[in-house]
Amino acid sequence: MSVIKSLSEKKPVLVSLHDPNLALMYSERAFLLKKGEIMAGGRAEEVITSRNLSVLYDIPVEKVTAEIMVPSEVIP
């Protein structure tokens, strides 16, 4: 991911991630796709929310923050 992050400083980079935690750590913008359709898009921290992920995965999802972890972590 560090190589992709350094590339993004020079050019726009499009990455497909299936881990919301990585997306929160490395992405400025995010899009959530459900059944081939965009269900949400915008700033990563505004898109990757408990509510949106619960709808996306059809299960309750909780977003937690702890000082010893990355800024946010998503737990199903």
Q: What is the pLDDT of residues 37-70, one digit of tens each?
A: 999 999 999 999 999 999 999 999 987 776 655 5
> 17: which 2 tokens?
């991630």
Residue 54 sits at the vertex; the CA angle it makes with 8 and 28, to the nearest 5 degrees, is 15
Question: Which region among 27-31, 51-55, 71-75 has the lowest average model confidence (pLDDT)?
Answer: 71-75
> 66: which 2 tokens?
């702890």
Q: What is the pTM of this model?
A: 0.74
- Tell me: the pLDDT tens digits for 6-26? 767 778 888 899 999 889 888
